[in-house]
Chains A and B, each alone.
Chain A
């Protein structure tokens, strides 16, 4: 584990200011921008309902949502240099968010982070917000959550389940971005050649960053398990019988 963390730390050594991911303002044509907006509305609606209900039922839910929103916001606008590719990108944080808060609430959390970034940080855009919520909020959250639940149902331990949830949530986000971008900019050109070109262009940066995101997700789940196991039980991340085993 030390070697993995050591390797991940290498990524952080050469920090320098830079822009990172998200589809920027004006990149997608109006029809595609509107299409992604329409697609995310039901997820937002369900997410807000679930958030309201959970906050009413449980007093510690609001601080947890506050913590996770801040974490997703920071993580998803923090450019991390990747020495092998010579580029910068960022993890998304949606896996940990979905594991702890459920994927629908995680969509709301990611939307808040993306909206602030689009408004004040020139990161993403208002016209492309729907597309960015779809890739980071929906694809990232649902992939992370489903992978985590699947691995846990196979009795794989918390750290490894968290790692793969983070890893695959990150890769799923960039897979969705490739789909959105290819569909939006291809014009009359065929979809698949452009899609593969864009996806492959993301690989050198996102392959190591996915591993970093896996390590972050795993670390956070394990930390919460050590500090507040009751919280994980309440959020149905683990069963009461697992504590202390």
Chain B
């Protein structure tokens, strides 16, 4: 009963969130909030984004760097997940509950 109530509240929240398209701040679709919010208000107040010290935002270079970051991050996460999961508690003289 309690679980159902929580699920219903969760579902209503999701529906509400998907049914409020009244705030579409950006003229361009799918801009990041760094552009549509942070950049917009900063510009209005005379502050503008500068180029990064290592400027990878050139043509498709940024796509490559993002892809590389995703691959490296994914492999790292997968590797450590495997290390953690394959290391059974029993290997270290502990039972499933973590007791020696």
- Measured CB to CB, the residues of A under 8 A from B are 1, 3-4, 7-8, 10, 14, 16-29, 60, 63-64, 66-67, 69-71, 73-74, 77-79, 81, 83-89, 116, 118-122, 125-126, 160, 177, 181, 184-187, 189, 194, 197-198, 200-208, 211, 227-231, 233-234, 240, 243-244
Q: Tell me whether chain B's interface is mostly helix, strand or loop, or mixed.
A: helix
Given the known interface contacts A24-B34, A184-B47, A243-B96, the answer about A70 and B84 at a Cβ–Cβ threshold of 8 Å is no
Q: Are A208 and B36 in contact (CB under 8 A)?
A: no
Give bound CA distance, A71 to B69, whole Å: 12
Given the known interface contacts A184-B47, A207-B17, A231-B84, the answer about A201 and B37 at a Cβ–Cβ threshold of 8 Å is yes
Taking CB atoms and an 8 Å cut-off, the chain B residues in 21-70 that contact chain A are 21, 23-26, 29-42, 45-57, 62-63, 65-66, 69-70
Q: Which residues of A contact B36 (CB under 8 A)?
A: 87, 201
Q: Are B31 and A229 in contact (CB under 8 A)?
A: no
Q: How far is the CB of B31 from chain A (nearest CB, A)?
A: 6
Q: Are A240 and B25 in contact (CB under 8 A)?
A: no
CB contact between A122 and one of B23, B30, B55, B98 (< 8 Å): that residue: B55
A-B contact pairs, 22 of them (CB 8 A): A17-B63, A19-B34, A20-B33, A24-B34, A27-B39, A63-B84, A67-B76, A69-B76, A70-B74, A74-B73, A74-B77, A86-B21, A87-B30, A88-B30, A122-B57, A125-B52, A177-B38, A187-B46, A202-B37, A240-B97, A240-B98, A243-B98
Q: Are B33 and A205 in contact (CB under 8 A)?
A: yes
Given the known interface contacts A185-B45, A229-B98, the answer about A121 and B66 at a Cβ–Cβ threshold of 8 Å is yes
Q: Are A240 and B89 in contact (CB under 8 A)?
A: no
**Chain B residue at minimal CB-CB distance from A215:** B10
CB contact between B97 and one of A4, A28, A201, A230 (< 8 Å): that residue: A230
Q: Which residues of B contact A240 (CB under 8 A)?
A: 97-99
Greatest chain B CB density within 10 A among A77, A84, A194 is at: A84
CB contact between B18 and one of A14, A84, A86, A88 (< 8 Å): that residue: A84
Given the known interface contacts A177-B38, A202-B37, the answer about A119 and B54 at a Cβ–Cβ threshold of 8 Å is yes
Q: Which residues of B contact A177 (CB under 8 A)?
A: 38
Q: Which residues of A contact B52 (CB under 8 A)?
A: 25, 118-119, 122, 125-126
Q: Are B56 and A3 in contact (CB under 8 A)?
A: no
Q: Are B30 and A18 in contact (CB under 8 A)?
A: yes
Q: How far is the CB of B51 from chain A (nearest CB, A)?
A: 7
Give bound CA distance, A203 to B3, whole Å: 28
Is residue B1 contacting chain A, with contact meaning CB distance below 8 A?
A: no
Give bound CA distance, A14 to B87, whole Å: 38
Q: Are A83 and B18 in contact (CB under 8 A)?
A: yes
